Amino acid sequence: MEKRRSAPPVDAFEQVCVSKGEDDEMEIVFYRTSKVKLVVVWIAIFLSLFFIRLIFYWRRDWYAKSVASRCSPNAHADWVILKDKSMQQFAHRIHTRILSDSLKHGKNRRKSISRIDVESKSDPTPEYSIQTFFFHQRLKYILNTKRSCFEKTSVPPLTLSSLLTSKGLTLAEQHSRRWLFGENSIRVHVTPIIILLVTQALNPFYVFQLFSILLWTAGESYYYYAGCIGLLTIVSLAAQIIQQRMMERALKKTIGVNNSCFVWRSDLNEWREVAAETLVPGDVIQIPEAVDCNIPCDLILTSGDCIMNESMLTGESVPVTKVALEASESDVIFDLTQHSRHVLFSGTSVIQQRRTAGDDVVKGVVYRTGFSTSKGELVRSILFPKPIDFKFTNDSYKYVGFLATMALVGMVYTIVVKQLNGDAAEDIVIRTLDLVTIVVPPALPAAMTCGIVFAQFRLRRSRIFCISPNTINVCGSLDAFCFDKTGTLTEDGLDLLAIRQAAPDGTFEENLDLSAGSKHGEAGHLKAENNNNNNHHHHHHHLLHRDVLEAMATCHSLALINGTINGDPLDLKMFQFTNWDFEETNVKGQVQGQGPALAPIVVRPKPSTNPRDSNPPSSVREIGILRQFTFSSKLQRMSVVTHRRSTSSSGGAGRRAEDLTLFTKGSPEMVASFCRPQTVPDNYESVLNSYTSQGFRVIALAMKELSGEATTDALARVRNLTRDECECDLTFLGFLVMENRLKAETIPVIHQLKIANIRTIMVTGDNMLTALSVARTCGMLTLVDRVIIASVSVSSSDRPSEIFWCPVEMPNAATNLNSFETNGDVEKNRLEFVDSRVSFAVTGRSWALLRQHFPQFLPRIVLRGTVFARFSPDQKKQLVEELQSLGYYVGMCGDGANDCGALKTAHAGISLSEAEASVASPFTSKQPNVSCVLSLIREGRASLVTSFGIFKYMAGYSMTQFLIVCIITWPVVGSTMSDFQFLYEDLFVVTTLVFTFCFTGPHSSIAPRPPMISLVAMAPVTSLLCCMSLNLGVMLFSWYYTQAQPWYEEPDTRDGRDSDDTNVNYDQTVLFLITCTQFITMATIFAKGSPYRANIFSNIFFLINLLICTSATVIMIFNKWPWWAWLLELKMPPTFAFEGIVIGVCCIHFFVSYLVEMYFVDVLVERWVQPCLSRLVFKERVKYKLVEREMETSPDWPPLADKSLAEVMEMELAATSADDGDGAKKQTALHEDAQQSPRDVIVNGHRSDGIENPAFEITPADECDVAMTIDDVSMTIDETAYDSASNQEQSLLERDDDDDDHIDDVRTDL
């Protein structure tokens, strides 16, 4: 037997958290197994017949704390307990793996054990390389002794030059890295049915069901009822197993299987085909040429261009163009966010690839593999969803705890009463335990999910798909909703409304109005052979400058896919206007037997068919697009380098000239900051504001003549130019004015949300004034709202940052484009509104400065903020988090492209996508408009109220039975209900009513007040107390009235009576009939309709169920079916008058209960008493209400600035330009910092300054460090030995992370 050994001691370090500063930051605590504790715990486990072990199965962290003692990180820890931001705790074993040097010689003598005793080695030798690690949610955290902490395996910071010059890995380097990073696989296994059966059966709910069934069948007491419950349990268990299998299969099918790929082996100097699972960071691979081929990992494109379909990750159907890294930025540190346009993400598919001149293949460097990829992160978010911190769910646990306490008290009471009655010990034990199943109904969890299941079904019928059903109830409490603008509130397609060209004298020319012939086309697709739909614009071409027309024809990222031009809707509309032809010259299959052309994309004007068109705007034969600087939401611009092939030149007719020209388009603020000031018109700001203030989307155009002709040498020089070198000293060309129309559903949806007192917030990447105009048009901003832009100035050495509060007067929408000129005095006007409400508007730049310099103002700005413009994806996520920190339940609606972070962070995110289910958000709507928001909120409120009513009903049902059994039946009558009486109440009445209870759909409108979410608030507690008081009063009255009848007979209480005898008597019969009517009454009064659910009469199934249950109970009371009384073991009263009195008492109980619930609880307590007590006795706990009160006490805040709107916009523009200009400096500083303190690769003592040079240096420390380099691993590593090691690591990952299989704990401890 192998000797138990401990993990090597970690050098003294003080790690208190892992993944610090990241979304998955967790606290970490170390534990060391204690032999004494281990023995004591296992003795207790055996004595409890493994019940304690079952508890440890549910809470593995309790097991770790029970068998181990907390220790300092530098001790021999073998357990780690993690606590995330949601206060969840996870326990994992610390594993240590030893890679033997004997692998170099091809011998399979690898040692891999859970813990090793390094103290037994008196003379450490470099024969072993050691890994100390643990797995958490499929990620590997490995000990880095140089940093003295556990970190996720990742690559070090890399410069772009190291990536561009990477020559790939040798076979030995690949094996070394595979040993470190593991396999490149995202394994989602379809769990075998037997394992699913065991794991599901060990769920606390089913364990409690099994306990109840065994208890009910003890002594053959309730075997009929136990058999029915057992059958329902089996059906429920089978349904869950089938659903789990279907979900696993669907997820596995979605993930797909990685195929082989070609990898460059630097030692062999050739491409080798390998399995995709063997890829490691640093490998250089070919991009597959096959259409729709999936990318197996996250890789950085180093040559060529690719057009990708990223809908699997983002839900966005528009193809995305990816370009290779730029050699001109060689000293810049690679940043995934900043350089995402160069990254092909795992799970995306290649639509088309283009090779660059001089390259035979399109290739890239592997950056991340396995679950560390973007696809792996999304799969992990599905496998391990973020827990929903919902008050209703938390309060339900409190209620169950209260019921359990009540059961404990009842157990003690029952033992005392039974003992005084002289009952047998066996009967006392059974009846006492039976009380637990009465007070805490086993069917409670199943009943609680009914409302969610039916709501999910109704959402699916509305074409809204859900991957997180528990989020549906949360949707019922939403009180703030954020919307993206483009594609969400407005149409995806754009109409080219006007062109405003800059004149050579530094002014704007007359507005070129295109609105008369503008037609709204389909966005996203344009047939290359059917571009003639824009011929009605051709008569405008002679009015355009040649540079403007050529910029519109070339400055885009369109691609030709299967004869169809695809790309961004804005680019499509712009190119469609030019009426030019589009051709790609080096796409696979288009040019055979030739290498790639100099210009991969060529555009040329169509031959003129108009004989009167004697003065074409351009004498260009064709224009080739040599290089693209793709659009980035952070940079807010894109550029292209072109060469113009003209039919004439200044040199004379017939002479061909090839000129290099740069065209740029983007946001007006950004483009103007790169233009020469003398080319920007003086009235630039006023003209821009006149367009944007009316909601039009404005795109600025600029150009620059580059020196030299389009020779091969010049092209090579162009490819080496940096973006900053190209995008400078531009010539401003003018504006493209695009109309982004509101969707037809937007205004009514926003109106209904405003009526429902749900905050509506716009968060967009578009221009501020455009966003304000759209917000005003759709109703987010009303006419009486006083809009104030919060602008922050950038600090300098002699002046700190300042915040300016600039009021904005929004003009009404205009229709005449020629009247867009504005008077400068308009922006300086200050309108005083009576009883107006302040609404803030913030740009992304000011948001970042607010977070940095003025965090004290953030709560107020977030509270009153309505428009957040020029926001990056990360800033959208930050806004959602700030709203949540104020106590809002936040929803987010976006198109899934730039909104993924916000969609995931929000309490309820809904993505507008054509896919049935998008992993970008919990909800996906196939309705491409915001009407899905209303459906989601209505269904959420209906589901929440349904769950609320079911919980109250189940609690009232259990407490009613508790009152009968514990207070009346056992101590007084001396018997309990029969088996069939329990069957009738629990199955025929309660179960059917709960099931049909959930059929009620949502109300047609959204009420101004959200439903209550707290089960322990005054109103629900009062409701249950009143209900139980009325039930108890009716039971006591009926019981005493029965005993007062002349025909009443005392129940048999002889000592020699069989304990199994139910002792049929009048008391038991009357109480049983009364409780049946009470269950029907509670189902009726708790099945509330308006304002959150449809009227009860709309639920036909529930009405029929009520009618059947009521009729059956009334027939029993009047004893019309004697055989029914015999079956249920009832002793019916002999007089008709008494039966009539019972019916009368039940009717009075129903009406009194209804009046108390509808008027006393819902009106008096919930609407008046509870709010007053909250204000007077209990302090307000919701943070945003406290901030609101603070603002109400400060009517003079904020102090308005003397700056005009134009001055503020000019300040924003200047700051944006300065920020962009500092980008290169920041990157250079980052690179210098990285050179001074390079990050270590996360392995014991190993360090690497670049991925292409995997030489790791280890310094011995104490007695456990080893001096070895991974480069020493020979190419002759035994593949069988390595595969064995890899398989064992994968086994550890799955076993240690599932928290479902603890056999390893038992085996190791024993």
User: Catalytic positions, please?
Assistant: 484
Joined together, the tokens standing for residue 1245 give 């003592």
DSSP label at 1165? I
User: Could you tell me if residue 1268 is left (phi over 0), alpha (psi between -120 and 50 degrees) or otherwise beta?
Assistant: beta
User: CB under 8 Å to 444, separation ≥6 — which residues?
Assistant: 400, 951, 954
- Whole-angstrom Cα distance, residue 154 to residue 140? 10
Q: What is the largest CA-CA distance in the chain?
A: 129
Q: Strand pairing of 865-869 and 837-843?
A: parallel
Evaluated on CA atoms 1222, 1225, 1231, 1235, the torsion sign reads negative
- Whole-angstrom Cα distance, residue 338 to residue 345? 14
DSSP label at 159? B
Cβ atoms of residues 1205 and 805 within 8 Å? no
Query: For the chain, how far is it from start to end, CA to CA, in angstroms?
Result: 12
- Whole-angstrom Cα distance, residue 1024 to residue 951? 11
Q: Strand pairing of 564-566 and 580-584?
A: unpaired
- Whole-angstrom Cα distance, residue 555 to residue 625? 9
Q: Which residues of 1204-1222 are buried (b: 16+ CB within 10 A; e: fewer)?
A: bbbbbbebbbebbeeebee
Phi/psi at 660 (5° precision): -95, 125
Cβ atoms of residues 252 and 290 within 8 Å? no
Other beta carbons within 10 angstroms of residue 52's beta carbon come to: 18
- Whole-angstrom Cα distance, residue 383 to residue 78? 26
- Whole-angstrom Cα distance, residue 1072 to residue 1133? 13
Burial of 814 (0-12, 13-18, 19+ CB in 10 A): middle
* The total number of residues written for the chain in this structure: 1310
- Residue with tokens 């196939």, as numbered in its chain: 926
- Whole-angstrom Cα distance, residue 158 to residue 218? 69
- Whole-angstrom Cα distance, residue 628 to residue 637? 11
Joined together, the tokens standing for residue 853 give 């310099």
929: nearest Cα among 880, 895, 891: 895
- Whole-angstrom Cα distance, residue 971 to residue 963? 11
- Whole-angstrom Cα distance, residue 1015 to residue 1012? 8
- Residue with tokens 């389909």, as numbered in its chain: 522
Cβ atoms of residues 688 and 765 within 8 Å? no
- Whole-angstrom Cα distance, residue 190 to residue 196? 10
Q: Strand pairing of 923-925 and 908-912?
A: parallel
Q: For residue 495, what are the β-bridge partners?
A: 739
**HSE-up of residue 405 (Cα within 13 Å, Cβ side):** 6
Joined together, the tokens standing for residue 498 give 């006007």
Angle, helices 931-962/746-755, rounded to nearest 10 degrees: 40
Joined together, the tokens standing for residue 424 give 């047998």
DSSP 289-337: -STTEEP-SEEEEEESEEEEE-HHHH---S-EEE-PPPGGGTTSBP-TT
What are the Cα distances from residue 968, in Å, to 408, 413, 830, 989, 1074?
A: 18, 12, 75, 22, 13
